[in-house]
Amino acid sequence: MTTKSEFVLTLACPNRPGIVAAVANHLLTHDGDIRDAQQFDDAETGRFFMRVVFTSTSHIDIVRTDLTEVATLFAMKWQLNERTRRRRVLLLVSKFDHCLLDLLYRWRMNELNMEPVGIVSNHPRDTYAHWDLGDIPFHHLPVTPGTKLEQETELWRLIRDSGTELVVLARYMQVLSDGIVAKLAGRCINIHHSFLPSFKGGSPYAQAHSRGVKLIGATAHYVTGDLDEGPIIDQEVRRIDHRHSIAEMQAMGREVERQVLLRAVRMHLEDRIFIDGNKTVVFS
Amino acid sequence: MTTKSEFVLTLACPNRPGIVAAVANHLLTHDGDIRDAQQFDDAETGRFFMRVVFTSTSHIDIVRTDLTEVATLFAMKWQLNERTRRRRVLLLVSKFDHCLLDLLYRWRMNELNMEPVGIVSNHPRDTYAHWDLGDIPFHHLPVTPGTKLEQETELWRLIRDSGTELVVLARYMQVLSDGIVAKLAGRCINIHHSFLPSFKGGSPYAQAHSRGVKLIGATAHYVTGDLDEGPIIDQEVRRIDHRHSIAEMQAMGREVERQVLLRAVRMHLEDRIFIDGNKTVVFS
Amino acid sequence: MTTKSEFVLTLACPNRPGIVAAVANHLLTHDGDIRDAQQFDDAETGRFFMRVVFTSTSHIDIVRTDLTEVATLFAMKWQLNERTRRRRVLLLVSKFDHCLLDLLYRWRMNELNMEPVGIVSNHPRDTYAHWDLGDIPFHHLPVTPGTKLEQETELWRLIRDSGTELVVLARYMQVLSDGIVAKLAGRCINIHHSFLPSFKGGSPYAQAHSRGVKLIGATAHYVTGDLDEGPIIDQEVRRIDHRHSIAEMQAMGREVERQVLLRAVRMHLEDRIFIDGNKTVVFS
Amino acid sequence: MTTKSEFVLTLACPNRPGIVAAVANHLLTHDGDIRDAQQFDDAETGRFFMRVVFTSTSHIDIVRTDLTEVATLFAMKWQLNERTRRRRVLLLVSKFDHCLLDLLYRWRMNELNMEPVGIVSNHPRDTYAHWDLGDIPFHHLPVTPGTKLEQETELWRLIRDSGTELVVLARYMQVLSDGIVAKLAGRCINIHHSFLPSFKGGSPYAQAHSRGVKLIGATAHYVTGDLDEGPIIDQEVRRIDHRHSIAEMQAMGREVERQVLLRAVRMHLEDRIFIDGNKTVVFS
């Protein structure tokens, strides 16, 4: 085979000399040309993280098989993906649809390397009547305290059956319960409408208004069992002043939210994020 | 008298129709030419805030006397200053001197309309041996738990005797006690080395590092009896990532701290800040 | 009549004492409560600019009639609008639709006080097949060098017949000729995809890539006969580095373009912009 | 020898497979532990750039000798430095001293890994009377059109005799002539007080004011024979509006200038910058 594919190798392991050489030598046996490589040693945890983009004429299965040996040697947690492969993404949304629409727009513009396998909302389809959601399956999963278990069971079934690799909470205003969160560790991204750890919980803009802060923000993070405490992927802020009402802060916030969520989802889809304890390593 | 002086009038009062007209008419009787005016109605509290810059050939005492009538009529809390008058400022500092030095540099460059009446530190003079503090009186006021009362009594004496109008805590790492804070209400500015309300209290950069945030910041605020809870004047952030150690975050933070403190002090010296409950109105 | 309407008064005139008092007194006779006021004296040109938001129980026609006297006295160029009145806006677009879609999204979210009276493109309707353009009339006006005169004549007819008050060039990639530009003075906003005055003319991202700049940007400006030289309304930048290809710069640029154009259009719709020679005064 | 030193290896060469493996293998023979590595393939020029930080117990001379073979094999242009080695820096300044003082402050705070070997000014020493320049030799080299050749000859003698490795034009307001510029290729950094390529040449703030831009900026670049056209290292901007006079823009600009120059000098001192034609590759 003479066509070259582009691959992304990501790995994490205890740090020790020789990792880079071992990986580079291995790739060279596959005629691999390293196009980009980034690494990070976390001196506090002793963990080593690496992302390598390379081209090769070998088939991904062959590269993968051969990598197993070196991976075992260094106790690596690793992944190898073809760069063009589109991840299967499930989008969850509630009433506010600005994040959802922005993600779909980027997808249509070929700015996001994903395949939306479904949209799930606790509101009915006609909430989004103005928007062309295309052929993406829409699932209305209403939820009440009494039906939460059933709703999440159904949600999990959807995730499983659709082969979902990433769940995006695009302003989905329901708290997922521990059971489903545990199944989605490291592959469920939420956008919180405040500059965490400030203003956790509900109504962050009202909290910000009341405290009189001069910057408001948004935070994208992986979802964990600890509400609003998961590993932070990205954050951004906007300047406000005394004249901004809560409603105006919400409108400005929407802009920040969609910008931050977009960046976080893009980084995830490009295999640029590693979870390092309660933090993230992001190779931008 | 034919020379024109420039004045700054600031006022706050319950909102009702006619305030602007009353003020404008009054100034016109003094041949006042309004150069700049900003106002804000706080719909939540019903308070009206206004800052007017005007030129006039009248003497400040005459304008002031005449304004008393209209001020009484509208129950105004007000101030009238000549724009060029330099406020008397006392600078408090501890080991980290970057904020102090930046304020002194700006003062020498005529960027800050102040008269430094003294520098107070809990560290000795030779901590700052490298810097030319000029003729500004330096006061070494060491403090221990057992001598805090005496130290603050001496500090208060300095403030009073020097005619200090504004106290700036330029990374002064001692918590002022309630007694002296009460005497300095609305005229004591602190720089906190975090993006409040995140990371209150000590070691905010260590807290930020531990939480894995992607932006760090600084907050300038008026000092109140509630530690780190006073009205926020200004805030700013810088982007960090996984590679930044606590020491690097502190170095970056110094840059943000001095920038934010400088802006806050400048706004205060230019009569641009109003305290509105636990918030500020800042006419920038 | 006891209901209060909110009005926006904007005025420009030669500066002299008494303007603020005259306006404030006049509004007071209409029971006007000034909610917000901003002003600016341009010391270089001697022009005075003012924007006043006030509530009144009077009818707009009565306020307007009464204002005529004071306006004449001070040689004012002035406008009085009800704050809620939606301006009639014509949107021009070419192949890139990100700015158009963002403006329509904001309009649907009630973030933009406008009435889109039509969309004009030199590309056919199905270029935008994915997007729900609603009931807004779509006009396909193709243009070639030989038909430009006819196309612009038709465009002008559309503007006139639809009562268009503002024309927005939302990445409309045709240069308007002087004849139609002259008719649209002060009411035609363009987004240029560079940080003007850098990289005027075509392919600004390619120019930026070639020069190796570290920030790219976008500029919203009023259209004049001098290409890319009209009064600048707003600008914004994004950081890039050596890794960004021209295509990636274009994608990042789209984000900046829509953000800057949105802000400029919003400022215009809220009567916050004054043209002052070849510059703008923007009361934000 | 059991103590470990930290080294920085930088290299540039034509891209081809095997570079990373060759370097990594070589370092491994010296017990090298790669702490950080960044690389970039310029697809347009076919050049490959790499910066590797590693620890090793070997002496630098031994590592260097051994690297020669691999460097020759790949036609590398390369450098190997001990990370702690302080570069010898000559600072040139004119009347405005804000950049000079900031660099000296950072140096004293151990934020800049340099050894200032001298300060050169075309103004006399007492221009900076307020500042403690410490033991750094000060050279007053006045310049007139008629004495420029002699002045630059003297400057070059200073550079040579002091073992200067980097020349920083910290708002040095004289244009260096081609002769001396040629000798300083890749090791002379200038700060230009505009957002290049806008407003080249003199009085950029006046130009910016006249054009009515909404952002002003500064640009750090390597000096070449083409005035204001050298490879850009870093840029930054600040928002202004209609109220800013030229003097205020200059004051704001000083803040940007010193921030951008500091970053550029720091990047250079840390071997993070590669010149790639008329652009730079900066590994931040």
Shortest distance, CA B127 to any CA of chain D (angstroms): 13
D145 preceded by cis ω (within 30°)? Answer: no
Q: Is the pLDDT of residue B167 over 50?
A: yes
Percent of chain B with pLDDT over 90: 85
Q: What are phi and psi of A159, to 5 degrees?
A: -60, -45
Whether the CB-CB separation of A100 and A130 falls below 8 Å is answered with: no
What per-residue confidence (pLDDT) applies to A118?
A: 98
- Strand boundaries in chain D, DSSP class E: 5-14, 33-42, 47-56, 77-82, 87-93, 114-121, 138-140, 166-169, 188-192, 215-222, 232-239, 273-276, 279-282
The answer to whether B111 contacts D251, with C-beta atoms less than 8 Å apart, is yes
Distance (Å, whole) CA B145 – CA A119:
61
pLDDT digits (tens, 9 = 90+) for A52-73: 999 999 999 999 998 999 999 9
Point out the residues of D that are catalytic.
Answer: 228
**Short-list C219, B255, B239, D239, CA closest to A237:** B239
Whether the CB-CB separation of B173 and B95 falls below 8 Å is answered with: yes
Mean pLDDT of the B76-81 span: 97
CB pairs under 8 A between A and B: 77
Q: How many C-beta atoms surround the C-beta of residue A45 within 10 A?
A: 12
Q: What are phi and psi of D283, to 5 degrees?
A: -90, 100
Distance (Å, whole) CA D13 – CA D41:
10
Alpha carbon separation from C21 to A15, B21, B25, C46, C111 (Å, rounded): 73, 6, 5, 18, 34
Q: What are phi and psi of D195, to 5 degrees?
A: -85, 85
Distance (Å, whole) CA C268 – CA A160:
50
Whether the CB-CB separation of C51 and C272 falls below 8 Å is answered with: yes
Distance (Å, whole) CA B58 – CA B60:
6
Give residue D195's pLDDT band: very low, low, confident or very high (50, 70, 90).
confident
Give residue D109's pLDDT band: very low, low, confident or very high (50, 70, 90).
confident
- Strand boundaries in A15-113, DSSP class E: 33-42, 47-56, 77-82, 87-93
Whether the CB-CB separation of D37 and D4 falls below 8 Å is answered with: no
Which residues are CB-contacts of D149 (< 8 A; sequence separation ≥ 6)? D177
Q: Is the pLDDT of residue D1 over 70?
A: no
Chains touching B (3+ CB pairs < 8 Å): A, C, D
Q: Does D236 touch chain C (CB under 8 A)?
A: yes
Whether the CB-CB separation of D80 and D30 falls below 8 Å is answered with: no
pLDDT digits (tens, 9 = 90+) for A25-55: 999 998 889 999 999 999 899 999 999 999 9
DSSP state for residue B163 in the 8-state scheme: T
Choosing from B228, B241, B271, B276, the catalytic residue is B228
Q: Considering only CB atoms, which chain D residues are within 8 Å of C40?
A: 242-243
B228 in catalytic set: yes
DSSP state for residue D135 in the 8-state scheme: T
Q: Does B21 touch chain C (CB under 8 A)?
A: yes
Q: Is the pLDDT of residue A257 over 50?
A: yes
Shortest distance, CA A70 to any CA of chain B (angstroms): 26
Distance (Å, whole) CA D180 – CA D92:
14
Which residues are CB-contacts of C76 (< 8 A; sequence separation ≥ 6)? C11, C12, C13, C70
Q: Is the pLDDT of residue A96 over 50?
A: yes
pLDDT digits (tens, 9 = 90+) for B183-238: 999 999 999 998 888 888 888 999 999 999 999 999 999 999 888 889 999 999 99
Q: Considering only CB atoms, which chain B residues are within 8 Å of A200?
A: none
DSSP state for residue B85 in the 8-state scheme: P
B116 preceded by cis ω (within 30°)? Answer: no
The answer to whether B41 contacts C27, with C-beta atoms less than 8 Å apart, is no
CA-derived radius of gyration, chain D: 21
What per-residue confidence (pLDDT) applies to C1?
A: 46
What per-residue confidence (pLDDT) applies to B228?
A: 84
Token pair for C239: 């950081």
Q: What is the mean pLDDT, run by run of 10 residues, along chain C of 284 residues? A: 84 94 92 91 93 94 92 96 96 96 92 96 92 91 94 97 98 94 96 88 89 95 91 96 94 94 98 96 95
Whether the CB-CB separation of D180 and D156 falls below 8 Å is answered with: yes
Token pair for A150: 């059933």
Q: Does B35 touch chain C (CB under 8 A)?
A: yes
- pTM for the whole structure: 0.94
Shortest distance, CA A229 to any CA of chain D (angstroms): 29
Give residue A2's pLDDT band: very low, low, confident or very high (50, 70, 90).
low
pLDDT digits (tens, 9 = 90+) for D141-166: 999 989 999 999 999 999 999 999 99
Q: Considering only CB atoms, which chain B residues are within 8 Å of D105?
A: 98, 101
Choosing from C97, C102, C228, C234, the catalytic residue is C228
Whether the CB-CB separation of A112 and A265 falls below 8 Å is answered with: yes
Whether the CB-CB separation of A34 and D20 falls below 8 Å is answered with: yes
Residue of C9, C20, C283 for testing the chain B interface, max B β-carbons within 10 Å: C20
**Short-list D177, D173, D169, D185, CA closest to D89:** D169
Q: Considering only CB atoms, which chain D residues are within 8 Å of C284?
A: 241
What per-residue confidence (pLDDT) applies to C196?
A: 84
Distance (Å, whole) CA D141 – CA D159:
13
Shortest distance, CA B263 to any CA of chain C (angstroms): 19
Q: Give me the count of residues in chain A.
A: 284
Q: Is the pLDDT of residue B72 over 50?
A: yes
Q: Are strands A215-222 and A188-192 parallel, antiparallel or unpaired?
A: antiparallel
- Collapsing DSSP to helix, strand or coil, A90 comes out as strand
What per-residue confidence (pLDDT) applies to D227?
A: 82
Q: Does A150 touch chain C (CB under 8 A)?
A: no
Looking at the partner chain, which of B42, B211, B233 has a beta carbon nearest the beta carbon of A197? B211
Shortest distance, CA B103 to any CA of chain C (angstroms): 29
Whether the CB-CB separation of A205 and A253 falls below 8 Å is answered with: yes
Q: Considering only CB atoms, which chain C residues are within 8 Å of A108?
A: 130
Q: Does A242 touch chain C (CB under 8 A)?
A: no
Q: Does D45 touch chain C (CB under 8 A)?
A: no
What per-residue confidence (pLDDT) applies to C2?
A: 61
pLDDT digits (tens, 9 = 90+) for B101-154: 999 999 998 899 999 999 999 999 999 987 788 899 999 999 998 999 999 999
Give residue B165's pLDDT band: very low, low, confident or very high (50, 70, 90).
very high
The answer to whether A17 contacts D28, with C-beta atoms less than 8 Å apart, is yes
Residue of C11, C29, C33 for testing the chain B interface, max B β-carbons within 10 Å: C33
The answer to whether A39 contacts D36, with C-beta atoms less than 8 Å apart, is yes
Q: Does D31 touch chain A (CB under 8 A)?
A: yes
H or E element, residue C56: strand C47-56
State the sign of the Cα–Cα–Cα–Cα dihedral C14, C20, C21, C24.
positive
Whether the CB-CB separation of A36 and A55 falls below 8 Å is answered with: no
**Short-list B114, B32, B116, B115, CA closest to B80:** B32
State the sign of the Cα–Cα–Cα–Cα dihedral D47, D52, D58, D59.
positive
Q: What is the residue type of A152?
A: E
**Short-list A265, B108, C126, CA closest to D128:** B108
Q: Does D248 touch chain B (CB under 8 A)?
A: no
Distance (Å, whole) CA C79 – CA C73:
15
What per-residue confidence (pLDDT) applies to D171?
A: 96
What per-residue confidence (pLDDT) applies to D139?
A: 98
Q: Considering only CB atoms, which chain B residues are within 8 Å of D98?
A: 105, 109
Q: Considering only CB atoms, which chain A residues are within 8 Å of B196?
A: 198, 213
H or E element, residue B87: strand B87-93
The answer to whether B130 contacts D130, with C-beta atoms less than 8 Å apart, is no
The answer to whether C197 contacts D199, with C-beta atoms less than 8 Å apart, is yes
State the sign of the Cα–Cα–Cα–Cα dihedral C176, C177, C181, C183.
negative
Q: How many C-beta atoms surround the C-beta of residue A88 within 10 A?
A: 16
Mean pLDDT of the B34-39 span: 92
Give residue B2's pLDDT band: very low, low, confident or very high (50, 70, 90).
low
Q: Considering only CB atoms, which chain C residues are within 8 Å of B33?
A: 15-17
Distance (Å, whole) CA D122 – CA D143:
6
The answer to whether B21 contacts C28, with C-beta atoms less than 8 Å apart, is yes
Whether the CB-CB separation of C22 and C73 falls below 8 Å is answered with: yes
Give residue A1's pLDDT band: very low, low, confident or very high (50, 70, 90).
very low
Mean pLDDT of the D98-119 span: 94
What average pLDDT is seen over chain D?
94
Shortest distance, CA D259 to any CA of chain B (angstroms): 9
Looking at the partner chain, which of C199, C212, C284 has a beta carbon nearest the beta carbon of D280? C212
DSSP output for A104-152: HHHHHTT-S-EEEEEEEESS-GGGGTTS--TT--EEE----GGGHHHHH
Q: Considering only CB atoms, which chain A residues are within 8 Å of B280?
A: 212, 242
CB pairs under 8 A between C and D: 77
Give residue B263's pLDDT band: very low, low, confident or very high (50, 70, 90).
very high
Nearest chain C alpha carbon to B26: C21
pLDDT digits (tens, 9 = 90+) for D30-68: 888 999 999 999 989 999 999 999 999 999 999 999 899
What per-residue confidence (pLDDT) applies to C195?
A: 86
Q: What are phi and psi of D243, to 5 degrees?
A: -80, -15
Q: What is the residue type of D265?
A: V
Residue bearing the bigger pLDDT, D4 or B115: B115
Give ipTM to 2 decimals. 0.93
